[in-house]
Amino acid sequence: MSTEAVDSQQVVVESDYDSPTWRQLSDFSVAVTGNNFPSHASYADLRLSSVRDMGSVARADRKVVAGEFGYVLEDVPHFTDYLPDLPTHPNPLQDNPAYSVVKKYFVNEDDTVPQKIVVQKNSPRGIHFRRAGPRQRVYFEPEDVYACIVTCGGLCPGLNTVIREIVCGLSYMYDVKRIVGIQGGYRGFYSRNTIPLMPKSVNDIHKRGGTILGTSRGGHDAIKIVDNIQDRGINQVYIIGGDGTQKGASVIFEEIQRRGLEVAVAGIPKTIDNDIAVIDKSFGFDTAVEEAQRAINAAHVESESVENGIGVVKLMGRFSGFIAMYATLASRDVDCCLIPESPFYLEGRGGLFEYIEKRLKENGHMVIVVAEGAGQELIADSIRSMGHEDASGNKLLLDVGLWLSQKIKNYFTSRQRMTINLKYIDPTYMIRAIPSNASDNVYCTLLAQNAVHGAMAGYTGFTVGVVNGRHTYIPFYRVTEKRNKVIITDRMWARLLSSTNQPSFLSAEYIEEIKTPREPPK
């Protein structure tokens, strides 16, 4: 773990103020000021670096600023951190007639956004992130900008919208003329596959699913990529992708920083599963939940039209069950929702089979929604026999929907001598391949424009995302160090259980165990 001596205090930077980070920041403050919380007398810019390993998560210099009353800013890198003498220029937006009516368009340099907004009166102010938006001074002249955009990983509704709005934002707000798209993901840097991007050429792409740039998994060699960026004279890199892509972006930023290049690296987080940490939600999620309703409705119609009908719908959610949970809550036709975060079992008292039998006797039909990562421990032997990963390092999962459907059929036909009619629907790739809906289009627009504002203002090595309803710049390491998951002891999961009337499938002992807070390491 990275540490650095600051006035004889060792400060460890982690991820939350209920972690050792917070305690040691407080210790640092007490040593300097005698106060319980950091004050302006202890104001410090702590840059903490760790050894870079191309095969693991790259961690750029961490900037942590401690302020008064427990205020902690987890800041993002800036050109001035390693290029202190760069000239600045007035922001062209001040002369843009579209923004002339805005009273306060430029963001104050001191504006930050808290990670947690529900606090008690004696709570410390806690962790904050830098607020996104345009600054009065920029570090690029429009004619000097040469920007590139790349999409990596799986498809997601809204990819083309983000591409479109980066291009239009650079062109219309900052008068940038040179923008290219890197084709085929990170591999496109090696093969030098690029296409010019202009507002006219991207005008209608938001109406189409997928990505006009193409995508791929893996193919990440930071040295070669930065060589290509340097050879071409590119100075703004916009990288759209999930946590694996953002880890790669972090390595690219570190290599750029090591070479002392004036190149801004901005990430736009993309995952249909909504499992990116810190941010409120990822783009495309609303569209996925809305489109999942069609599959659930079809399963409901099929199941209620026959005797003992069962509709099984598999939705995306490799490690996190947000799509399944929200689609279930929105539908109200689902009788059981199974997600990776909540273990379940099939046979015995309180098991899934008992609940299915009970539901069929009561209603004559039922609908089951299962996330693709649910129940993997039940088919662990099959997974171990596979042992395969995709190019992004994700474990290849067996089809839990097919497996569960077959298990249900076998149980009721061989043991219960009960005739059932089961229909299995898998809309996963249909959902991710559609264009984004209206709300996601607006969300993509704001993400793209704020990424452009950040890069023009000299920020780099950041991901743009919404935290508590406000757009922020977040350090790469914060969105890649862990995944966002459904908390099954939270009220939202309780609402789902209340809606479906399904059992939790958890023992009382297990529930108490996960509700009991763990003691932090000493």
> Would you please indicate which residues are annotated as catalytic (active-site) residues?
273
Is 434 marked as binding a ligand?
no
Q: What is d(CA 127, CA 110) in angstroms, rounded to the nearest whole number? A: 14
Given a contact cutoff of 8 angstroms between Cβ atoms, the answer to whether 51 and 107 are in contact is no
Q: At what angle do helices 243-259 and 222-232 cross, to 10 degrees?
A: 60
Is 316 marked as binding a ligand?
yes
Given a contact cutoff of 8 angstroms between Cβ atoms, the answer to whether 37 and 122 are in contact is no
Is 417 marked as binding a ligand?
no
Q: What is d(CA 254, CA 356) in angstroms, rounded to the nearest whole number? A: 53
Angstrom distances, CA of residue 421 to CA of 32, 257, 305, 364, 410: 71, 60, 10, 11, 12
Is 158 marked as binding a ligand?
no
Is 272 marked as binding a ligand?
yes
Q: Identify which of 294, 244, 235 has the alpha carbon closest to the alpha carbon of residue 266.
A: 235
Across 77-107, b (16+ Cβ under 10 Å) vs e yields bbbebbeeeeeeeebbbeeeeeeeeeeeebb
Is 154 marked as binding a ligand?
yes
Is 294 marked as binding a ligand?
no
Token pair of 222 as six digits: 């930071």
Is 286 marked as binding a ligand?
no
Is 273 marked as binding a ligand?
yes
Is 185 marked as binding a ligand?
no
Is 318 marked as binding a ligand?
yes
Task: Compute the chain's Rg from CA coordinates.
Answer: 25
Residue 307: Cβ-neighbour burial (10 angstroms; 0-12, 13-18, 19+): exposed
Q: What is d(CA 318, CA 376) in angstroms, rounded to the nearest whole number? A: 10
Is 386 marked as binding a ligand?
no
Is 1 marked as binding a ligand?
no
Is 241 marked as binding a ligand?
no
Strands 462-467, 264-269: pairing is parallel
Sequence-ordered list of residues with C-beta below 8 angstroms from that of 507, at least 6 positions apart, any chain: none
Give the residue numbers of the binding site for Mg(2+). Answer: 243
Give the residue numbers of the binding site for ATP. Answer: 154, 217-218, 242-245
Give the residue numbers of the binding site. Answer: 154, 217-218, 242-245, 271-273, 316-318, 372, 429-432
Give the residue numbers of the binding site for substrate. Answer: 271-273, 316-318, 372, 429-432
